[in-house]
Amino acid sequence: MTQVADELRDIIKGTIDGLIGFVDTEVVPLEQHYREILSNERRLFGDDGRLVPEIREARDGVRRKSAKAGYWAAFGPESIGGGGLPAPVSVYLLEAVYRKYGAGRLMIGFSNGFLTSPLLGGFVDGPSHMFANANETIKADIVPSLLAGEKTTCFGATEPDAGSDLWNLKTKARKVGDEWVINGTKQWITNSPYADYAVVFAVTDEEKYAKRNMFDSGITTFIVDTKLPGVDTNTIFPIMGHVSSDCGNVIMEDVKVKDDYILGNIGQGLMTAMAGISEGRLAIAGAMLGLAEWALDKSLAYAKERKTFGRALADHQAIQWMLADSAIEIFNMKYATLRTAELVHQYPTTGRLPIKEISIAKAYAVEACQAICDRAIQIHGAMGLSSEMGLEEAFRIARTLRIPDGTGEMQRRTIAGQLLRGDTVF
Ligand SMILES: Cc1cc2nc3c(=O)[nH]c(=O)nc-3n(C[C@H](O)[C@H](O)[C@H](O)COP(=O)(O)OP(=O)(O)OC[C@H]3O[C@@H](n4cnc5c(N)ncnc54)[C@H](O)[C@@H]3O)c2cc1C
């Protein structure tokens, strides 16, 4: 443990034990009940690409119970009633649950973990740190239902022509009287098929936007009720190896939103977006750490048990090297992720935002996790490819996560930018 994590030892242990106990008593029986549907994606999704009603209800029920038990909003800021978990605790929590349940259980939005995905809200669906900027109307009208897990959000930044490059947004909001009229299309938006509210980033000041200043971007953040006239969330995209997914479009045509539903300051929306994305990057790193450990645990068990040429696989040097390579990467992942979480935790006192470290942790964790899952599949031979083991799914998840919340190339761009600005402290 790092020094900060050592100080937080009791909170870490209590939170992990509590959440694992919650999954075992509240979620596992439900998964058993719906096993037939959950294990067959053709039955899991309807023709419209959405989860079938009984699974949606079960999933909503898990979210509400998780909220009551104090987990769903655990990552949310205390200023709005969230749990305000310190970043190192969040990382340990994600590591622990992903290590225990692995693929097929807790994979937010990308897998069969449809009953366990609503355990912990993040910036793509729940009361995240972005809401620390909420005004009194948003705090009164929207935040309580998010904290209770009654309603969910989605995060609408990406567009057909603006993914890595958010300086090419076409979504615009124009002020007419006391309302804003929003037009544009957001694409690849996690949870958009189910979200009650979309957190939408729209250009409100073309002149400022053209200057490309992150802090004063000319982009404003709106909370858009997805039931408003002009909002269409019907398109859902199947993603790598799945019949459907949680990702879709948010299309807005002359959608009218009141001033009160602006999150944060007008024209400073990119900072709100970055607050959400940074939280997501660290969460991904924590989850990938746990998933990689889960894959190594499985590999070790199989290597000891399976025999070839009269010996356990574990006795062959080629297998030992694969195990050792995975251990090297896990150790590095763990240090990078925890050290970054510690720097995030210390930010209020140091004033140093660990921009390059967040990018290093996210990029390294997903790439290492993919390599570790690949080795785990290799060690398991044909069994590794079978969907029964969950390893091929873990591989797909890690591969998928190299794209959202900033691709590997964008993380490297950020890291290099920081280095060239003189941030060379490690
Ligand atoms: C599963 C999933 C969930 C997602 N969820 C959300 C969500 O909830 N909300 C949301 O707003 N978005 C979401 N996204 C979108 C995601 O953020 C974008 O896909 C991502 O930012 C990359 O944008 P793009 O797909 O348009 O690729 P592009 O930006 O078109 O990039 C294509 C390729 O070129 C590389 N590239 C681009 N520019 C450069 C450069 N300057 N130098 C070197 N290489 C470069 C990229 O790294 C990438 O490899 C999600 C995506 C996925 C796959």
CATH number at residue 177: 2.40.110.10
Structural domain includes residue 265? yes
In a domain, 123, yes or no: yes
Last residue of a domain, one of 269, 300, 328: 269
Residue type for position 354: P
Do 257 and 275 fall within a single domain? no
Indicate whether 168 belongs to any domain: yes
Identify whether 147 is part of a domain: no
56/158 same-domain check: no
Residue 106, pLDDT above cutoff 50 = no
Please give the tally of structural domains in the chain.
Answer: 3
By most ligand atoms within 8 Å of CB, the mutation choice from 107, 124, 164, 284 for ligand 1 is 164
Q: Do residue 385 and residue 404 come from a single domain?
A: yes
Tell whether 308 is covered by a domain: yes
- In the chain, pLDDT over 70 holds for what percent of residues? 95
Over residues 397-426, mean pLDDT: 96
Residue with CA closest to ligand 1 atom 45: 409
pLDDT at 272 over 50: yes
Ligand 1, atom 2: closest residue by C-alpha? 404
Residues 286 and 400 in one domain: yes
345 located within any domain: yes
In a domain, 144, yes or no: no
Residue 114 is predicted with a pLDDT of 57
Residue 58 in this model has a pLDDT that exceeds 60: yes
Q: Which atom of ligand 1 is nearest to the CA of 401?
A: 1
Pocket test for ligand 1, best of 407, 414, 415 (most atoms within 8 A of CB): 407
What pTM does this model have? 0.95
296 and 413 assigned to the same domain: yes
In a domain, 142, yes or no: no
The reported pLDDT for the residue numbered 387 is: 80
Residues ≥6 apart with Cβ < 8 Å to 21: none
- 275 with 411, same domain: the answer is yes
Q: Which amino acid is at 312?
A: A
Residue 117: pLDDT band with limits 50, 70, 90: low
Q: How far, in Å, is the centroid of ligand 1 from the Cα of 382?
A: 32
Pocket of ligand 1 (CB under 6 A): 124, 155-158, 163-165, 188-190, 239, 247, 400, 403-404, 407, 409-410, 413
pLDDT of residue 107: 39
Of ligand 1's listed atoms, the one at least distance from the Cα of 407 is: 47
Same domain, 403 and 278: yes
CA nearest ligand 1 atom 44, residue:
409
pLDDT bin (cut points 50, 70, 90) of residue 1 is low
Are 265 and 279 within one domain?
no
> Does residue 110 have a pLDDT over 70?
no
Q: Are residues 29 and 118 in the same domain?
A: yes
> Rounded mean pLDDT of 14-21?
92
Query: Is pLDDT larger for residue 308 or for residue 242?
Result: 308
Residue 338's identity, in one-letter code, is L
pLDDT value of residue 104: 57
Regarding whether 357 and 265 lie in a shared domain, the answer is: no
Q: What is the pLDDT of residue 109?
A: 37
CA 157 to ligand 1 center in whole angstroms? 11
Question: In the listed set 228, 244, 269, which residue is the last one of a domain according to the structure?
Answer: 269
Same domain, 195 and 309: no
Residue 119 has a pLDDT of 84
Which pLDDT score, from 0 to 100, does residue 108 have? Answer: 38
Asked if residue 115 has pLDDT above 80, the reply is no
Mean pLDDT of 46-59: 92
**Average model confidence (pLDDT) for the chain?**
92
Q: Residue 344: which CATH number?
A: 1.20.140.10
Highest mean pLDDT among 2-16, 120-134, 190-204: 190-204
Q: Which atom of ligand 1 sits closest to the CA of residue 410?
A: 47
Q: What is the mean pLDDT of residues 205-219?
A: 97
**Closest atom of ligand 1 relative to the 109 alpha carbon:** 1
Residue 6: pLDDT band (50, 70, 90) is confident
Residue at which a domain ends, from 218, 237, 269: 269
Residues 78, 118, single domain; the answer is: yes
Domain of 103 in residue numbering reads as: 3-131
